[in-house]
Amino acid sequence: QEDYKLWLQYKKVQDTKIASNYQSKINGIYALGNSETIQAATKEMQSGLSGLLDRTIALQQNTNSENLLILGIQSSLDEAILKNLKNELDLINNEGYLIKSIQLKNKKHILITAKTDIGVLYGVFNFLKLLQTNQSIENLAITDAPKINIRMLNHWDNLDGTVERGYAGFSLWNWQKLPDFIDQRYIDYARTNASIGINGTVINNVNANALILTPQYLEKVETLAKVFRPYGIKVYLTARFSAPIEIGGLKTADPFDADVKNWWKEKAKEIYQRIPDFGGFLVKANSEGQPGPQNYGRNHVDGANMLADAVAPFGGMVMWRAFVYSEHDADDRAKQAYSEFVPYDGKFRDNVIVQVKNGAIDFQPREPFHPMFGAMPKTPLMMEFQITQEYLGFSTHLVYLPKLYQEVLESDTYSKGKGSTVAKIIDGTLDHHKITGIAGVANIGNDINWTGHPFAQANWYGFGRLAWNPYQDSETIAEDWLRMTFSNEENFIKPVKEMMLESREAVVNYMTPLGLHHIMDTGHHYGPGPWVSNLSRPEWNPTYYHKADTKGIGFDRSKTGSNATAQYAPEVAKIFDNVVTCPEKDLLWFHHLSWDYKLKNGEKLWNSLAFKYQEGVNQVASMNATWNKMEHYVDETRFKEVQMLLNIQHKEAKWWRDACLLYFQQFSGKELPKGVEKPTQTLDYFKSLQFPFAPGN
Ligand code: BDP
């Protein structure tokens, strides 16, 4: 069951000194208010403490005794407590919280308060985190508040129970048993999300099915919304643009058609009658075959604004995705979203936010930040990260993604001069946007451990933490997660944290080093397929991305090539354009270079590529070695699971290395340098591998 509990293990504090200190400081809970959220907060506090302190902490009816945990919103506190707070509450927003050591009539207590109930719940989870990570609870004075408004998961769940790009079983939502049967998982899902501050969920796939908008399904969605509500989580749905035809009996879905507009208005009204706090719609339109306004000669603004008008009277949002690329303009797929959307800057309604993937292609192990960030100052842009590992080894490979997220968030767009980081764009501070958002494509399914790989839980956790505060360090997050999920022992934390932090670079090295991208095998995207060149659309083929030939390798996106670099601010474009200043990690993303091109360390490109692939394999080998020493600190089930998975990862890192190097070697015509292991199979063997059992698209 450890697996199931994620980072909310609430195991007894092992260090006896720390434990007895906590024991002496926590004697009871005094909870003010009776809303469902306050009840959930109180219950969480009680169950958390009973595990961590190994005894029951009673609820009190007054503050007569000492060492109480006082929970309640600001307006429920009496004067005697409020006067302890001075202006601290002014520093936080509606979802923020305060954890403070206070004195009341010469008695010491710990106060957890906020402006709203949900703030109190967030405060409770963060207080429990202090204990879970063995922090001091003396003289507490913590104020904390989220920096981004909409912090959401996007589930790519289909109504038939399958999950697109999902590698942790089937969908959590049991449409057949809803609305009458409420799976305990729905509640634990909401609790867990609340523990990291997630406040929104899109429960169905962006490749949408209009049926979700029929009364039969809405009744079920209403129940889920009710379960999630006490935990501060709003439900959103994807809207299939052609729904007025498919379920509304209309002949068109043209956003300028009066009947169509009216259909969406009525639909919105119907949804809000059931779910008064419904979040709004997420829309994938005119992308990868999905219907959209362009089917009727209209554009993205026309489509988004029509839907925005329908939900506006109820305070709803439209999240319009910018993941578009068309086969008709295939010179460089990386340029298309920018070309299509940037001219619309400032034209969307106030309740529209444009959702942009972190990079311009598609959730690769590494991509430079998407050039749309910084290019649309008059439009709020929402970040879309992928938590599920579509291109990074599914739920088989251990890859700690917050490293990737942090790299993107810290990237400097220079849109308003130096320091215009992606984080400042999405948290609204750079361009003064009131509505801000961040989404993560969920990696959750109905596996016992939720995410398939025990360490993939860290990616869900880390996404939530960065959504709350995009300036946090992924290292701190890894450490917190390890302490909460496994153990507080330093001899465990240190090596395993290092292993996590290195895992992202490892996957880049053994899959797509030096800026290579999209060379995964067709459809499922698992395993190498750099040779694939037979797909109907040019930009679906790996050969389109690496462009290897006898002269060299890489996609020339500089001035001499597709000129995608011109989509960045001049300062950034200049760096990427020049092969000397272009970061080597992005080299082949932006440049096509000869096999003999010399890297900064003096090594030729072919050799460097080979060394990178080898380094990736070595890194996984050392991850294995690290984990094998951890048996003592981890329960048997999780220890063995991770061990088996790392063994597969090691095998598959070699597969990636050998397949890619044999393939590229045909063009370079060069020997493998010393230090790079020789493949034991032929290129034909790797090409012949089939994966009928891998979840596809
Ligand atoms: C790609 C996936 C595809 C998704 C699409 C999207 O391969 O399954 O539908 O992105 O984000 O990464 O819409």
> 407 versus 90: which is more confidently predicted?
407
Give the pLDDT mean for 250-259. 98
Q: Verify that 252 and 345 share a domain, yes or no.
A: yes
Q: Examine the fold and report which residue of 121, 144, 167 is the final residue of a domain before the chain moves on.
A: 144
DSSP label at residue 679: P
Q: Answer for the pair 24, 31: CB distance below 8 angstroms, yes or no.
A: no
User: Is residue 316, in this structure, part of any structural domain at all?
Assistant: yes
Q: How confident is the model at residue 85 (pLDDT cuts 50, 70, 90)?
A: confident
Do 600 and 652 share a structural domain? yes
3-state secondary structure 389-435: CCCCCCCCCCCCCHHHHHHHHHCECCECECCCEHHHHHCCCCCCCCC
The yes-or-no verdict on residue 329 having pLDDT over 80 is no
Residue 207 C-alpha to ligand 1 middle, in angstroms? 8
- Per residue in 436-466, pLDDT tens? 999 999 999 999 999 999 999 999 999 999 9
| Residue type at position 585 | K
**Paired sense of beta strands 593-594 and 352-357, if any:** unpaired
Which pLDDT band holds residue 94 (cuts at 50, 70, 90)? very high
Residues with Cβ within 8 Å of 468's Cβ and at least 6 positions away in sequence, in order, are 146, 147, 148, 151, 196, 197
Token pair 């009066």 is at which residue? 258
Distance 295 CA to ligand 1 centre (A): 20
472 occurs within a structural domain = yes
Instruction: Note whether 363 and 378 are same-domain residues.
Output: yes
Alpha carbons 566 and 570: distance in angstroms, whole number: 7
Distance 284 CA to ligand 1 centre (A): 10
- Same domain assignment for residues 639 and 538: yes
Atom of ligand 1 nearest to the CA of 384: 11
Query: Residue 686: what are its φ and ψ, rounded to 5°?
Result: -65, -40
Tokens of 508: 């880049």
> Does the beta carbon of 697 sit less than 6 angstroms from any atom of ligand 1?
yes
Expressed in angstroms, the distance from the first to the final Cα of the chain is 31
Grade residue 346 by pLDDT with cuts at 50, 70 and 90: very high
CA angle 549, 554, 555 (to 5 degrees): 115
Can you tell me the distance from the alpha carbon of 222 to that of 235, in angstroms, rounded to the nearest whole number? 9
Whether a cis peptide bond, with omega within 30° of 0, leads into 538 is: no
Mutate which of 288, 518, 697 for ligand 1? The one with the most ligand atoms within 8 Å of its CB, which is 288
Report ipTM for this prediction. Answer: 0.99
Please state the rounded mean pLDDT for residues 477-503: 98
Q: 538 versus 225: which is more confidently predicted?
A: 225
CB 323 near ligand 1, within 6 Å: yes
Residue 73: in which H helix or E strand, if any? strand 68-73
- Do 202 and 93 sit in the same domain of this protein? no
Q: Which residues of 181-202 are buried (b: 16+ CB within 10 A; e: fewer)?
A: eeeebbebbbbbbbbbbbbbbb
Our answer on whether the CB atom of 586 is closer than 6 Å to any ligand 1 atom is no
Average pLDDT over residues 654-672: 98
State the Cα–Cα distance between residues 462 and 465, nearest whole angstrom: 5
Q: For residues 163 and 406, what is the distance between their CA atoms, to the nearest angstrom?
A: 27
Q: Are strands 107-114 and 97-104 parallel, antiparallel or unpaired?
A: antiparallel
From the CB of 207, is ligand 1 less than 6 Å away? yes
> What average pLDDT does range 536-549 have in this prediction?
93
CA 163 / ligand 1 centre spacing (Å): 12
**CATH number of the domain within which 41 lies:** 3.30.379.10
Owning domain of residue 627:
508-555+592-688
Give the chain's domain count: 3
Q: 208 and 132 in one domain?
A: no
State in Å: Cα 434 to ligand 1 middle: 29
In this structure, the answer to whether residues 525 and 648 fall within a common structural domain is yes
In this predicted structure, the answer to whether residue 696 has a pLDDT above a threshold of 90 is no
Dihedral, 220, 221, 222, 225 alpha carbons, nearest 10? 130
Statement: residue 542 has pLDDT above 80: yes
Of 157, 390, 502, 586, catalytic: 390
Lowest-confidence range among 131-145, 386-400, 476-490, 527-541?
A: 527-541
In a domain, 367, yes or no: yes
* 455 contacts: CB under 8 Å, gap ≥ 6: 398, 400, 500, 642
Res 697 pLDDT > 70: no
Q: How far apart are CA 162 and CA 172, in angstroms?
A: 10
Average pLDDT in the chain: 97
- Provide the pLDDT confidence category of residue 306 given band limits of 50, 70 and 90: very high
Residue nearest to atom 1 of ligand 1 (CA): 362
Read off φ and ψ for residue 101, nearest 5 degrees. -80, 130
Pick the residue whose CA is nearest to atom 12 on ligand 1: 362
CA atoms within 13 A on the CB side of 532: 24
Domain's final residue, options 92, 124, 144? 144
Boundary-marking domain end, from 144, 174, 202: 144
Check if 362 has its Cβ closer than 6 Å to any atom of ligand 1: yes
Question: pLDDT tens digits, residue range 601-618?
Answer: 999 999 999 999 999 999
Q: Is 165 in the pocket of ligand 1 (CB under 6 A)?
A: yes
* Alpha carbons 57 and 50: distance in angstroms, whole number: 7
pLDDT value at 315 more than 70: yes
Asked if 288 is an active-site residue, the reply is yes
d(CA 468, ligand 1 centre) in Å: 25
- Tell me what pLDDT residue 146 has: 98
**Pair (216, 131) in one structural domain:** no
Per the annotation, the verdict on 390 as an active-site residue is: yes
Whether residue 654 sits in one domain with residue 606: yes
